[in-house]
Structures are given as C-alpha cells and as structure tokens.
Structure 1
Amino acid sequence: MDLRETAIRRGLMAGAAIGVLITAMPAAAQQGQVEEIVITGSRIASSNLNSPSPLQVVGGEDIDIAASATLQDVLLKNPTFGAPSISRTNSNFQTASAGAATINLRNLGVDRTLVLVNGRRFVSGIPGSAAVDLNTIPTQFIDRVEVLTGGASAVYGSDAVAGVVNIIYKQDFEGIEADARYGISEEGDGIEKDVSLMMGGNFDDNRGNIVGFLGYSNQGAVFSRNRDFAAVDQSSLGALDGDPSHAFTVSRPYYSSYAPQGRFTAGGRNFTYDKNNNLISGFSTNGTETRAADGFNRSDYRTIAIPTERYLFATQGDYEVNDNLRFFMEGTYAGTQTKTEMEPFGLASDDIFPATVWNIQNADGSRNPLVPTALYDAATDTNGDGLKDLVFTRRLREVGNRGNTADRDTYRFLVGADGDIPMVEGWRYETYLGYGKTSESQVSNGQVNVQSVRQALDAVVDVNDINSNGNRTELICRDADARAQGCHPINLFGFGSISPEAAKYIAAPGMLSTFTQQTIAGLNVTGDVVDLPAGALGVALGTEYRAERSRSEFDALQQSGLNAGNAIPATRGDFDVFEGYAETNVPILADLPFAKQLNLRGAVRFSDYSTIGTTTSWNIGGEWQPIDDIRFRVIRAQSVRAPNISELYSPPSQNYPTGLIDPCVGIGATGGGVIGENCRRDPGVLSNIAANGKVTLTQSDVQGVSGFDLGNPNLSEEKGKSWTIGAVITPTIEALSAFSMTVDYFNVKIEDAISAIPRQFILDQCYRTNDQEYCKLIRRYQAFGVNSAGAIDEVDQPMANAGSLATSGLDITLNHRLDLEDLGLAGQLNSRLSYTHVFKGYEIPLEGAAKDSFNGEIGTPRDKAALNLIYGLDNLSVAWTSTWIGNSYLDNQFLASMEWPGNVGVGNWFYHDVQVRYAATENFELYAGADNVFDKKPAPILSNLPGNETGTETASGTYDAIGRFFYAGVKVTF
C-alpha cells in the first residue's frame, strides 16, 4: 500500500472516529461560551486553565530586546536550551544544512524538541530529521514563544520528549509596522541588515482580519583570520604532550602538513620546497614548523560565522461566518542562501591510488617525466611491485577554496476552520489541513575528480607531436580519451606548479539536492462534560494524521567518494502516522480552606506508524493551590519518539571524526595487558611496533581517521519517562505583590534511546573486551604509506536503540516590578532572573555499559542563568541582559582516554548586552545596543580537544566567537 492510499484509509478512519466522539458527547455539557481561549500547554479550551508542566513565555518585549534577525539567538538566552547542533557559527564544515538554526531543549538533542507554530507542526528544515530551521520563522511576526519543558508527547505528539516550543504569530493586527536595523562587529565584519514590513487590518465589519509580513535580512561573514584567537592553526599543547595542566595552553602555530608546494616521501626520505621553490629534504613531518614553506595555515581560509541571506513572507487571516464557523489560514515562505568557505583541498596519494603510493616508474622501466630527478633517484620500491614509488600530500591552492553555496526554500500553507459545535452547547471544534516543503539546492567547489587526477598524473613526453602543435618536448596525458576530454598533466612539485588548464580538468564541482515534505491534518474537539462541585470537567479529543517524506542526494562523484571527499550516498524515505488522543481536566476541590483549587488531569495518545507500528504516550498530574499565594504542580509522563527518516534509511555515509584516542598507541611487543594482546592481533599494529618499537602515530594518522555513519531500518521507538514537580509563588500581600517566582524540578530518563554508538566506545569495547561485534567496525592500515601501518583507517558508527539518556535538575525564575517613585526616584525597574541547575545528565551507550556523564561538560554546563533588567522612564527604556555559563569541563571519556586525573576545564563565563530604546513619538521609535559589551573572548577550546568547532578554536555553539557587536534601528508604526 503506498503512502497516498494509506493517507486516504487513515483519513476515513479519523473522520469516523471524530464522528463517534461528537455523537457521544453528553447533552449536559456546560452552558455558555468560553470568552477567551488561551494556550497553556493543554488543548483544553479554558479562560483560566493553568499549565501542569513548567511553561516559560518569551514575549514580544524579549524579542525586541534581543534585536536579532533569528529566533535561535533569542531562545539561546533561556537557560533551558543547550548548545544548538546547527547554527551560523558551528556549521561551516557541514556537507549539508550549513547555516541553519536549530534548538535543543535540556541538551537532549534537536530531534527531541518539538517545534510548533500556532500549536501545529511546522515542516522540518533538515532533510531526514524533524528539526525545524528557525531561519524560516520571521522574528518580527512573532507575538510570543511558549516553551513547555517536560514530556508533552501525549498532548502534542512524537518528538516532544524534551519539550515543546510553540511559536505564536501575531493575530488581529491592524495598521502598518516597519522596522529597519543595521549591525556591525567591533572588528568591522559580520555586518547585519534587517528590514521588515507588516501590514494588517480588519474587514467586513470586523468579521475578518488578514495580516501580511515581508522581511529581508543579511548576516555577513566572519572569518577566522580576523580574530586573533583563531587566526593561526593551533592545538592544545596538553593534547600533544599528554600533560593535563597544558590542556588549554596553546601550541601555536600548529600548521597542516598538507602544504601548497607539496610534501613527498621517497626511499624513506622526506622532501618539500622552500619559500624560493627549491627542493629540500630532511624536514620534520609533524607540521609544527613556522617556516612558510613547510606548513600551511588553514585558519587563514576558514569561516567562523557563515553569511546568511533571507527573504521572508508570512501571512495569516481569519473570517468568521457565524458562531459555528470561522475559517483561518496561515502561509509562510522563506528563501535562504548560505555560503561556507574553508581552505583548499588537501590531496594525498592514498586518495588517488588503491595501493596508497604513486608508481613513478612505468612497467617498461621508463620514468614519469613529471617527477624531478632528485625525487626519482631517491625513490625505491615500497609496495613490492618492483617499481619505484612516491608518497605525496599537496594542498591544491590552484584549484581554489572549498565551500558551498546553498539555496533553501521553505513553503508552508495551512487552512482550517473552527467554531462552536451546533446543538452541543459549550463544545468547540477545530479542523485543519496543512502542507509544507523545504528544498535545498547546493553547489560546492574545491573538490577534485580522483579519476581525472590519476589520468593527469600519468604523463608522457609528446615526442611524436600527437597534438600536432609542433612541440615535441612538452608533456601530455598518456590516455587519448582523457586528452579528448581536456586532460592536462598536473605538476604537483612546488608553489604554483599546477597550470590553470590542469586545475580546471581535475576540478569536480559538487551538487546536492534535497527536499523534505510534510502533510498534516487534524480534527480536535474540546468542551466540558459535566459540572462538578469544584468546576466543570473539561475534555479535549482529537485525531491527527501526518505524512513525512525526505530525500537527500549528492552528485555521482560525491556518492561514490570519487571527488577525494566523503562518500555520501543518497538517503530516501517516508512514513506516515495516524494518531488519536484524549485529554481531561478534573476539578476536585475549589474555594475551600487549604484548597483554593485542586485539579487532576491526564492525557493519552495512541499512534500508528507505518514504520514501527503502534506506540502509546500518556501523562497524569495535578495542581494544588492551598492559598492564593502559592500553587503546586506535578506531572508524570511517558513520551515517545519514533525514529526519523535519516535514522532509519541513511546508507553508509563517510565521516571524518576528530578527538578519537587509539587504545593501541604506546603498545609494544610485549605487555599492555588485555589491550596489548588485542592490539597485537592486527598485522598492521605488529608492523608499526617492528618499525618504531611501540605503536607510534604521526599527525596525518591522527587527522586521517575516517568511517561510515550507518542508518538502521530495524530501529524502534524510544520512550521517555519524566517527572516535573514545581511551585508557582505569587504573593498577595502588598509588600510583595510585584514579585513572582516559579521553582520546578525535572527528571527525564529515555530508554531505548536512538543514537549513534560513539566511536570511542566502539574502540574501547573492541580492545578492552575483544568484543568482535565492535571490532568488525574498525579497520587499520596494513602497510606504511601516507599513513602509518597499524594506524586507524576507519571506524564505522551504526545507529541503534543503544541504551539510555537521562537528565534532572531545577529551574527557577524570579520576576519583580519596582516602582522607583516609592524610593523617591523616577521610573520603573522590571527584572527577571532565569536559572537552571542540572543535577545529573548522562548517557549509557549500550545496555550494561557504564554511564557516560555529560553534565558539566563543555556545551552542557551544570549551571546557566540569564538576568534581564529593564529601566523605563517616560519614552525611554534601557535594557541590560547578563548571561552566565557555569564552570565547564572537557569530556570525561577524553580525559579517561588521555589518563588525565580529575576534571580539566574552563571557568565561569559571563556575557552582557545592553539596549536603549526611545519613543520619539507615538509612531516613531529609535533603538541602539551592543551585544557582548565587554568583548569577552571565547573559552579556548582548541583543536584536538572535544567540543572544538573547526576554525573557531572554541565551542562556538556555546561561547561567542564574534565579539562585541553594535546595532541601531528604527521602528515606525501607522
């Protein structure tokens, strides 16, 4: 049965189910109509229903104070959010979706955070994932954002394991609002331009309203070379010498050994060219030389912040026919272009030749004329074929920088109707149908066709004037078919030695085409079943249908790995799901001593997936308000997350992981215990020991580890069990009436968590326990070439319902409003403090394995807080925002692998932002501000340390890598 047939079948089932539900509604429903419907983490319509789960609201004022082009920047100020997996400052090296903007509640992963718009799903911006790209959401069109932290799958559906981010658009807007903002970093880069226009109005005697939004933003690039802390390739000295006290001590420069003049190994001797283009030998191969001729500074080409340009359109409208029927619609379009840039490609002989070496002597005994005499004379046979060979690395600067330009388009349209249900007093319905699609077209550059390079290296002297140009001494490609396709010999020896014609011939521009498609439909009803002594028993019932389809397809060279880069096959897949849910709120006591209000509530959702079958999620909880001043709330929930398309269907996709520690390093001919015995079973390891006395790796070995990421069609759903227990304090005594406080404890544990088995875990399990299920995922070099014999070549990483994931902690929010006139001063001061402390956070990679704690590690701090102070006086307001990131430490698995005792990390990190707004007239407002006022430099998370984002020399998803940033703008309303 195909997807369309399934959709029709399940749509009929949904309609039948809702029909039964409506027919079964009791006639004793509450009389009258609810005057105000509010969204409070529940689908039950009520004018005063409180949220059973912690609910934080990011309002319009918060968005104005942030003055950011993207919603991601606004939400990251909230301490409940962890480091995003994709942002402008941490995705320059991604092969797809670079520059997108995702969010990550509780550090449980972007796929466990459900993003809604007006309470309904929004199409994903990341192929194969459920993650929404917040670049597609126009910030100025947002009225507020409701952040529901806690298991919410029963109410809102799959993916809400960590919580829900519900984005509410502005409604019933009348008038014209124009906003323009310009920003620039203190270094003169990262320029931001943001303009928007919103228009809205009522029509037909206010029965209808329509709002339209147009926006444009352009965020400029920030390059590593323009920041002192990232301008030169560097590394953690501690990661190089093994001393934990040197963990954050810079080894600078730490240049790449892939140099633009080439590095060559012939007959066991190393050669390169000096700055005068003279061939020299005897240099060190560790890449740390400061001489320009010996090393290459990759940071001179890398990007910290990706330039991002966006065109946005959004609209919504409604028309009330009568009390029983109101039509509504939503429309969104976002056109986004991003551009990545990084250093030219580093080519090695093992990228080109299966034997990892270049035979520079032909079978007839003649020499390859491209090779300089000194290198040819020094060369010997190292692979046993009787012919001289050469090992090389070469930075292909003549081919140009690597990078990609991506154009992404997101469309979403939704229509629906709601109103009172005829002849059933007090009951309302809502039905909707929506379609969304995100497509990406990406063009990349800087890669090469390895087959073309192989042809271009096979050169001969044109003694017979084959090309009929009269020159019998020039070099030509040996293969006639290759010459017909434009082949020119490629000279790898020395600076600028590759001709433009050869560079053009070997260049392989890449292509990527993706789309993600979503169809949603739903029908929900809500009302009061019966009046109880403490109030009406409220119920919400509904069915929902969702179909997802995704495809991500690179060009043929990329899919096969023939462009000397990662082999990334196409990913295709689809699924659909039919769901039914019920939610109820039962008032138990009201207006009694020590029971101002006591409610119980519960919800259950049944889902039928075309991929994994049926799942069940539920929650049960309650609220107790003994007096007006305090309210307690508790909820126990089971949430589910079904595997997404990438997790199910991704074919083997090549990756180049960093930060892996090889357990065999330092193992000699004897000793080493169990690890030593298991390492010596590999012939390549024995060759390394024979050559060096113990397993010894070069920089190329450490940087050259590859492997394949693997999907798993046999995955099942993961289940999250959570507790949230909290209190809301709103004092009624006059002295504290301007104060409010919420305190919430959260505890989330996810079983059968869908995750990629960590590569370090695979290595450790193989060599510490000789578990062959893991050992078969590891491959090592068996002969010396560019990489050492015995060095890790590849470690594959499959997806699995691997183990469990858990976190618990405490959220505290304090709000206070102070009228300074009471102190004899002018103005008003509003303050809000948000603080999150995490008690624990850990992952168990596989059942039975030890806990891997991530709590307190870089990117997942134990403590995080944000303080907002707003001073207002007449038409003037000044806002000050302080963000605190607590002490953070290096990954404990890394520390254990390095045998470093205790925790090694960085201290507290504070950022401060300021903004001034002045309303010159009722319709004209000016504002200006600065982010990172004190120009706090990012924490030094250097190369070879876990958490490092390549090119930034920090964990740029956590710490600001741009620096002090100024902006100014104007808002005009009519």
Structure 2
Amino acid sequence: MFTRNFARTLRAGTALPALSLATSLFVVPAFAQDTAPTSTPPTTASTPSQSQAAPAADDAEIVVTGSLFATRVTTSPVTTVTAESLDQRGISTVQDGLQRLAANNGPTLTNSFSANGAFAGGASGISLRGLTTNSTLVLFDGLRAAYYPLADDATRNFVDLNTIPDDIVDRVEVLKDGASSSYGADAIAGVVNIITKRSFTGLSARAEAGVSQDGIAATQRFSVTAGTGDLDRDGFNAYISGFYYHADAVSTRDLRRPFNSDDQTAIGGPNNLINGDNFGTTAAGSNLYVAPGSGGRYQLLGSGCANGTLIQTTAAQQAASGLVPTSMCQQDMTNRYGVVAPEIDRFGFTAHVAKTFGESTEAYLELNFQQSRSQYSGLPSSIYANAPAGIYYPPYSTRGSGPSFAPGSGALTLPVYVCAARVNCTAANGTLNPNNPFAASGQTALLIGGMPNITRYDESRSRVYRAAAGINGSFGDDWNYKIDATAMHTDLRRTSDGYIYIQHLLDVIADGTYNFVNPSANSAAIQNYLAPTLNTDASSDLYQVQASVSKALFQLPGGPVQLAVGGSLFYEAVDSPSANSDINGPTQRYFTINAFGTEGHRTVTSAFGELSVPVFEFLELNASGRYDHYSTGQSNFSPKVGAKIKPFEMLTLRGNWSRGFRIPSFGEANALPTTGYVTNSAGLFNDAYLAQYGCSVATFSTACPQYLRTASYGQTTLASPDLKPEKSRSITLGAVFQPIRNVSLSVDYFNIKKTDAITSLSSGVALQAYYAGNPIPAGYTIIPDAADPAHPGALPRVAYVQSHYVNANTQKAEGIDFAANGRFRFGDVTWTSNLDATLMLELSTTLPDGTRQTYVDTLGNFNLTAGTGTFRWRGSWMNSFAIGNYSLTGTANYTSGYNLSAMDQGNAYEDCGLAPSPAYTGCRVKSYFTFDLNATAKIADKFTIYANVLNLFDRLPGVDPVTYGAYLYNPVQAGDNIYGRRFTVGAKLNF
C-alpha cells in the first residue's frame, strides 16, 4: 500500500517537492528533533536562560513524552518546540506555533474560523495527521486537561490551545504516533504535551507590538516572570508569572481585493452584490421590503436606503422575476459585515513552588488562572422564516389574525390591524397597521430583509482555573516513583446580542409597537425587547491523580531491563446547556443561534505499564499497555510494541505497532440535535431537477435562482448514547541518521487505520437521492424547505438532512514526515537549520457499503475539515545565523494546493465538482509559499530587542470560492498571512 500510494503521489505532480525535500535532507544537516531538548537544537532552546540549567552533555538522558523511561532517541517520532524557537521565528503565542506544525493538517480549528460561525467559537484546536481535533490528545505536564465546554462542530471534544500559559512554557513535545498505551483515549493521531518551567530564578519581562503594513491585525503582548531560589543548589525555587495579550478584530473590508467584496468580476467571477439579479426572500440584504399579501412586486419599506446605494433595477431584471423591486438598495454584504478574525484579549497568572527533600525527592505545586475573551460583530439581524438552530422550525405558523409566516413564501405576514391584545385584531379593537402600506386597502403585507440598525454581536469569555501538584523520587533498591494530581475547571460565558427573538418579533408586529418603517426611531427598550441579550453559561471539569513506579530489573548486554507500572483515576464532565433551546416551543427562541447543548460526566480508572528491554547495544525492544474502564460502561486495552535498531553509530532505525481508541464525545453521546450548514453546490443536483428552475448543472452559478445557489442546507445529527469507542491501529517506521556531531536527519512513515469511526453519515447520498426522485436511503430523514414562490410548482430544495451518529466507517491516514536539523560554526558565525515537512499519502474513509472516499489534495472530508481540505504537502524550513550579540532568522513556509472537489460531497476524486460553473478560478487552488524574517540584537547585558517581518514578500493565498470558514480563501492554508506583510517589534529584559 505504501509503495502504491507513494508512486501515485509522484505521478500526481508532487515529484518536484518530494525531490526538493529529499535533497534538503542531505544539503541541510541539522539537529534531530528527537534529541534531548537541552541539547539546544533549533527547534528547542537556543541559549540557556536563567531559568534553565546549562546544556547537558550529548550523552545526557531525559524523560520524553510517550515513555516512562529516560532515553535519547525514542521509538516514536517526537518534535520539540520551545518558547525560544518560537521567538526565533517571530511567533507570538504557542497556539500559533502549534498551528504551523507540518503534521497539523486541514481539520485544525483556528481562531479565525471560530469567528465565522463555528460551534466552538473563541477556541483553537490542533489536528495531527488530518484526523481532527478529537484524535489529538493535549496534556499539561503529562496530565490531562479539561475540554473546552463547546464541541468542535458540536461533536468533537478538544482542549483549547488558547489556554496555554505562554510565558511559563519550557517546551512543547509533540508525539506523532499513537499513544493510547500510555495516555488512554483520544491519543490516536498523537499527543501534544505542554511542559512548564521546572524552575526560574531572576526577573524577566517582555513588551511586544505588531501590525500589518495595511494597518490591520494589530497585537500587543506584555509579560513578567520573577523567581527566587536555585532548586538544585538551595533545594527550593518559587516563581510567579503574569501576561497580557491583545489582538485587534479584523473585518473583511480591511482585506485587499478580491477577499473583501461580493463583487468578484475583477477575477472573472460573478457580481454577488445584492441587486436585481439575485434579489429574493432570503437575499434582500439589511433593508426591509414589503409586498402586497395578495402577491406582487416588493418595494422598500420607508424612505431612502438605510444601507447601501439606492439603484433602479432594469426592465430585464424586473421581467425575470415579479418580485424584484423597481428601486432597491444595492449592498456588498461581505464588505459591510464580514469578519476575518475576532478581537482577542487574554491575561493570566501563574504561581509555581518546587522543593527538594534529601538527595532524591522533589515536589512541586503550580496554580494557574487564565481568562480569554473573543468577540466580534457579524451580520445584520435576520427575520427569516427558518430558525437554523438545531431543529426544524416550520416555514410558517398561524396566530389567529395576528402576524404569521406566510405559507410557501418564506416571508413574514404583517396584519391589516394591530392591537394590544395581539390576536384577533379588528377595526373595532385596534388600528390600521402603521408598518403595512397596504393596510388601508385591506391587504396584508409580506415583509422580508434584515434589520438595518441591529447587528449581531458574539462574545466568548472563558476562565480557566488549574492546580497541579506532584512528587517524585526514589526509594528502596533503586525504585523510582512519581505521583501527580491536577484539577482544572473552565467557566465559559457566551454573550449573544442583536439576535431576533422569534416570539418577541411576532409580538411587536401584532401590537404595532415596533417601527419597521423607520427602525432608528425605536427606543432602546423596544430594541432590547426585540433582540434581548442572551447570556449562556457552560463549564467543564477535569480531576486526575496518577502514580507510577519504575525499576531496573537486571542487566542485558545492551543495558538494564526496566519496568514501570502505574495507575490513574480521573473524572471529566461537561455542562453546556443549549443557547437556543426549543423546550418552550418553536417561537420561544432566537433566529440563527446554534442550538448545540450537552451535559455529561464520567469517571475513568486506568492501569498501565511499560517494559524496556535493551537486548544488545544495537537492539532495544519496548512494550507498553494500558487498560481503561469508563463509568459509562466502555472498557479498552491499548497495547504498543516498538523497537530501536542501531546497526552502526550514525544510524538508528525505529518502529512501532500500537492499538488505540477514542471514547465517544459528550457531544456524540449526550448532545441535543445539532445542525451544521453547508452551501449548496452544483454537484448535489441533476439537470432534470434544475430544469424546474430554468437552469442546469452547467449553468448553476449563473442561471439558477439565488434560492438554490447561495442557500445552505442543514446537516442535523442526532445523539446516540449507545455508541462504541472508535478503535485504531497505528504503524510507524522511521530512521534517524546522525552523520556528525550536531547533525540529524530523520524520516518517519505513519499508517493509521481507525475502525468503528463515529460518523453522521454523508449527506450527499441522501441529497442526490432526493433530487433524483429516488427513495431516501435508510437512516436518513429529508425535510424540504418552503417552496420557492417564483417556482411554486418545483420540488423544494432540502432544508435539513437528519441522521444519527453511528459506528460505521473506517478511516485511514498515511504519510511521511521529514526532518533535518543541524548547527554549525564558521568562525564567529553559528548557523542553525531546521526542516519540518509532512507528505500525506492518504486520508480516506470507507463507508459500510464498501465505498471508499479519498480526500488528499481535495477539500474533503467536509465532516472532518469543514471544507478546509487535506493538504498533500505542508512544511517549513528555518535557518538562523548568529554572530556575537546579533542573529538573523529566515523561515520558508509551504502548503500545497488542492482540487476543488470532495468525495463526501457527491464528487468523483479530483473532478472539480465543487468549482463554480463556469470555473472562473480554475479547478485548483494554488499552493502557497511565504517567507518570514526575524532579527535579534542584544544591546546590553540584560536587554534584547527584536523585530520581525512575517510574509516578507507580501504574498496572498490563492482564491478559494468553496471553503466556508473564510471568504474566498482557505483559513488553514493562509493563516494570518491573509493580512499581507506584517511587522512586530519587541524588547526583553532579563535580570
């Protein structure tokens, strides 16, 4: 399989990157990423600070993530990232550094995506191997952390990377291998272990500010850490640390064309400004329009144009649809309301105390508090007839003679009369409706559009409280022990403002208290009644105690046989009530607020062990295993075996076979029905169906009505408490070549197969069956939308596809990691270099019927990646040159392009099936290359200044008209480089 996939990769056009990276392995010697972090490779500490001991000798041994024993080269690949290495690259936060790892692929969750309607708004998660955020385990000092209370896509539990206390992080070790045998659930794709400083002495302070050359995306960072006592000499150390970080919000209008406008004509695309060509009941912009209830053309309600430019529609536009107004507001909704990234404020405090007892015992206590706030203003408030909030809300309702949603129109009906009673209003007990211009003639009015003066606002504020304590040492006949405990609690408050409460909307229409003709004339009280502020509180908890003992048993030719055993007990819980529950009925809720909610808790008892057998100096075997039992009834045993072979001094071969598991998330097992939204694509339809609307698949993006081509359908997934754990089988094979001192090259092949994968099933199968007039497959429920009033006889589009979570699929991830690290001296110049690259050979899903969907080099899997795709290549190459007190570092970053298709959306592999028609952007999104430059100068003994330029050549990403996590670009491929060239300056003070 590996040979076939690798050959296919070369044939698919990746031969040149493959050869370039392979060549780099031999022309760019550097330190191996698997060596001890204290050996000063470029991906670890550069020069020791006062918080660190001097670099250890090359034969020093350390304890690394994934093993209970001291070792220099593990049987699993481990990448180490430190705060110093991030400083070298000009990266401000650990979260941002982890997002840039080559092994982090498409399903990652970024801060920018969370400002575009993501369920887990305000958070960031990592996805190793493209297997999503729930298959990568994040640890703090080897202990579990509390989940973010909201789930990614309402299903995936993950740890928010924004909760990392940046300024006390010593290093982050990323284990790129299955590790359930050591850590239990969720470590299928790998482990991210955030390791904090063991001790700190002195005073360190930092101030930093950055901004793009266009004056956007400004950031500020301030921190101070102070400590006393030398732990090794005095037997005591204590330090405190505090930080503040701020990032400005970025609006879509701040970006350059074409990423800031609905007008895509400059790149050969359509003009999607709200105008007479696309006007409709769900595409009227942020102005209000009315039409006679008996039918007829819409007209602006009130005088003038509150938002946009008043234009006269053409005769052709009016002839195309009897609904198009003669005069209307032309609007660029993306430019006016779009959001790229939220405003972020973070601050936190840490206190750490460590003490040694005698010659072999050390204890510590650490307390952390951190608050993170993410906020942004979005689209105008909607008065649509559908409430996409997790359940199906009928497109109309009746309330006697009061207001209603007109059957089949998708529009609100304004009554002829209004009265205080709000029902059965007549001339005898009420007055003519002041908002209905047709009331005097006895006609109701249809109302569509968006509120011109109410904009949605969202804020997520999380507070994280964490305590950790531990003791380690030795006793008896060379027994070593380690006991750790942690408690972590997250409080999350979500604030939503500017969202229309459905019942209150019906109320103010029925009694006439809201002025729709001139919305700015309404009082603050009536505005707040129509769109009351919603605060929703959620929380998560994690409590864990873990203990292990180890001992060298006896000697073999290669060294001592070591045995370690241990146990763990932890409790985890999530309490995340729905922000928009329908428990009181379909009108007692808000328009458009996601209705995700879940509550659950479980206790997990575990036993684990590891055996290291150095048979000979050139052969070491390793075996580990862990048994986990959940109070919810699931149990699992996870074994792992590995070997290191050293045929000669310069070469180490390594390999592992393991089994792992992922426990069903609280969102999958306990959640309310949840709905995600995907924009319609031509590939879902067929010509026979589209002929009802006067268009075809070939003319979908130009001739089909707005009702079809820009609408989204809801994928509603129903919780399933009887789900089994997902199971995985992982194989890694690698080689580490160290030809000379301070030079290391490594290549690692990975192959992960996940069975019983929990899935909501692909909606494409059900959608295509519906539009083809075929029976709906078992396991799906199709809920049609309201009929299009312009095509009342046509089969309505799909509003929702419902299905349960099931253990059904098999997923496979396969690829190769490359690393080259080194450090050289040429006189007074020190050159360090680090290459980190990943080639994905396969990411695929096999469905229960045997159908195989493959996603590498496409936008799939939508269920995993939210349409951000699976990149074939991702990598970076850092080179740093230091002379005296000065250093200059350049980093090249590369992410490959992809085809605009996805097999889980009804496409064939790489058939361009998601591209607009005509495909004005072509069938591929081009690859993306950027270059960063960072300079540091130590201008005094204790004072250092630095400056960097990210995206030095000011390159913008390729146009992507499909990915829905951002507008016209891929937020994972582009990252912050969408802002163009960006500058940061800062200063550090150390005493």
Do the structures match in fold with TM over 0.5? Answer: yes
| Residue 263 (1) aligns with residue 263 (2) | no
Max Rg structure:
1
Name the CA distance, whole Å, in 2 between partners of 1:173 and 1:569. 43
Name the CA distance, whole Å, in 1 between partners of 2:784 and 2:753. 37
Gaps spanning 5+ residues in structure 2: where? 1-58, 275-281, 388-394, 399-404, 407-412, 418-423, 697-702, 860-867, 916-921
Name the CA distance, whole Å, in 1 between partners of 2:747 and 2:252. 42
8 A Cα contact 2:487 2:542, kept in partner: yes
8 A Cα contact 1:123 1:412, kept in partner: no
SS in 2 for 1:796: strand
Aligned with residue 978 of structure 2, among 953, 961, 965: 961
| Residue 541 (1) aligns with residue 565 (2) | yes
Aligned with residue 549 of structure 2, among 522, 525, 529: 525
Aligned with residue 957 of structure 2, among 917, 933, 938: 938
8 A Cα contact 1:86 1:99, kept in partner: no
- Aligned residue number for residue 17 of structure 2: none
Matches within 5 A, 1:23-102: 38-46=62-70, 48-83=71-106, 85-94=108-117, 97-102=120-125
- Aligned residue number for residue 397 of structure 1: 452
8 A Cα contact 2:615 2:621, kept in partner: yes
8 A Cα contact 1:662 1:792, kept in partner: no
8 A Cα contact 2:683 2:906, kept in partner: no
Name the CA distance, whole Å, in 2 between partners of 1:773 and 1:865. 42
- Aligned residue number for residue 8 of structure 1: none
Name the CA distance, whole Å, in 2 between partners of 1:332 and 1:290. 62
846-855 vs 363-372, greater mean Cα deviation: 363-372
Name the CA distance, whole Å, in 2 between partners of 1:66 and 1:170. 21
8 A Cα contact 1:271 1:279, kept in partner: no
- Aligned residue number for residue 480 of structure 1: none
Name the CA distance, whole Å, in 2 between partners of 1:774 and 1:931. 51
8 A Cα contact 2:686 2:772, kept in partner: no
Name the CA distance, whole Å, in 1 between partners of 2:112 and 2:491. 22
Matches within 5 A, 1:752-771: 752-764=756-768, 770=774
Residue 641 of structure 1 deviates from its aligned partner by 0.9
Name the CA distance, whole Å, in 1 between partners of 2:770 and 2:312. 42
Aligned with residue 314 of structure 1, among 333, 345, 350: 350
| Residue 808 (1) aligns with residue 814 (2) | yes
Q: 1:74 to 1:288 in 2, by over 3 A?
A: farther
Give the AA of the match of 1:218.
H
8 A Cα contact 1:55 1:147, kept in partner: yes
SS in 2 for 1:503: helix
Name the CA distance, whole Å, in 2 between partners of 1:91 and 1:290. 39
* Cα deviation 1:508-531 (Å, max 9, x = unaligned): 222211100011111111121221
Name the CA distance, whole Å, in 2 between partners of 1:750 and 1:236. 41
* Cα deviation 1:535-586 (Å, max 9, x = unaligned): 1111111111111111112456677662122461641111111111111111
* Cα deviation 1:706-755 (Å, max 9, x = unaligned): 353322211111111111101000014xxxx4532001111111111123
Residue 664 of structure 1 deviates from its aligned partner by 4.9
8 A Cα contact 1:306 1:338, kept in partner: yes
Give the AA of the match of 2:216.
D
Give the AA of the match of 2:253.
R
Name the CA distance, whole Å, in 1 between partners of 2:869 and 2:440. 51
- Aligned residue number for residue 407 of structure 1: 461
Q: 1:535 to 1:289 in 2, by over 3 A?
A: farther
Residue 900 of structure 1 deviates from its aligned partner by 4.4
- Aligned residue number for residue 742 of structure 1: 746
Name the CA distance, whole Å, in 2 between partners of 1:227 and 1:859. 23
Give the AA of the match of 1:213.
S
Name the CA distance, whole Å, in 2 between partners of 1:599 and 1:71. 34
Give the AA of the match of 1:652.
P
Q: 1:786 to 1:182 in 2, by over 3 A?
A: farther
343-352 vs 964-973, greater mean Cα deviation: 343-352
Q: 1:80 to 1:285 in 2, by over 3 A?
A: farther
| Residue 796 (1) aligns with residue 813 (2) | no
| Residue 970 (1) aligns with residue 987 (2) | yes
Give the AA of the match of 1:949.
G
Residue 325 of structure 1 deviates from its aligned partner by 3.8
* Cα deviation 1:784-805 (Å, max 9, x = unaligned): 5599651212122532223021
Gaps spanning 5+ residues in structure 1: where? 1-34, 238-245, 380-387, 460-476, 478-487, 591-596, 671-684, 690-695
* Cα deviation 1:258-310 (Å, max 9, x = unaligned): 33332344444331339846998874679999987144524312221111101
| Residue 572 (1) aligns with residue 603 (2) | no
SS in 1 for 2:632: coil
RMSD (Å) for aligned C-alpha atoms = 3.5
Name the CA distance, whole Å, in 1 between partners of 2:595 and 2:496. 14
Aligned with residue 873 of structure 1, among 874, 880, 883: 883
Matches within 5 A, 1:814-963: 814-821=820-827, 827-857=829-859, 859-893=869-903, 894=905, 896=907, 900=912, 904-942=923-961, 945=962, 947-950=963-966, 952-959=967-974, 960-963=977-980
- Aligned residue number for residue 379 of structure 2: 343
Residue 435 of structure 1 deviates from its aligned partner by 0.6
Residue 859 of structure 1 deviates from its aligned partner by 3.5
8 A Cα contact 1:273 1:280, kept in partner: no
660-669 vs 885-894, greater mean Cα deviation: 660-669
- Aligned residue number for residue 194 of structure 1: 221
Q: 1:771 to 1:629 in 2, by over 3 A?
A: farther
8 A Cα contact 1:916 1:929, kept in partner: yes
| Residue 429 (1) aligns with residue 497 (2) | no
Name the CA distance, whole Å, in 1 between partners of 2:820 and 2:646. 19
Name the CA distance, whole Å, in 2 between partners of 1:95 and 1:907. 25
Residue 407 of structure 1 deviates from its aligned partner by 1.6
Matches within 5 A, 1:536-685: 536-555=560-579, 562-566=589-593, 568=595, 570-590=597-617, 597-659=618-680, 663-664=684-685, 666-667=687-688
8 A Cα contact 1:660 1:760, kept in partner: no
| Residue 714 (1) aligns with residue 722 (2) | yes
Give the AA of the match of 1:166.
N
Give the AA of the match of 2:212.
S
Name the CA distance, whole Å, in 2 between partners of 1:361 and 1:179. 66
Residue 414 of structure 1 deviates from its aligned partner by 1.2
Name the CA distance, whole Å, in 1 between partners of 2:326 and 2:138. 49
157-166 vs 363-372, greater mean Cα deviation: 363-372
- Aligned residue number for residue 240 of structure 2: 212
Name the CA distance, whole Å, in 2 between partners of 1:720 and 1:569. 28
* Cα deviation 1:43-102 (Å, max 9, x = unaligned): 3332x4521011111134312123334212112332111246432211113365423221
Name the CA distance, whole Å, in 2 between partners of 1:252 and 1:948. 18
| Residue 452 (1) aligns with residue 504 (2) | yes
Residue 369 of structure 1 deviates from its aligned partner by 2.6
Give the AA of the match of 1:336.
S
36-45 vs 552-561, greater mean Cα deviation: 552-561
Q: 1:588 to 1:579 in 2, by over 3 A?
A: same
Aligned with residue 369 of structure 2, among 319, 326, 333: 333
8 A Cα contact 1:602 1:618, kept in partner: yes
Q: 1:235 to 1:147 in 2, by over 3 A?
A: farther
- Aligned residue number for residue 673 of structure 1: none
- Aligned residue number for residue 113 of structure 1: 136
Q: 1:289 to 1:417 in 2, by over 3 A?
A: farther
Name the CA distance, whole Å, in 1 between partners of 2:234 and 2:609. 34
Q: Percent identity?
A: 21
Aligned with residue 225 of structure 1, among 236, 246, 253: 253
Give the AA of the match of 1:513.
D
- Aligned residue number for residue 489 of structure 1: 514
Name the CA distance, whole Å, in 2 between partners of 1:166 and 1:538. 23
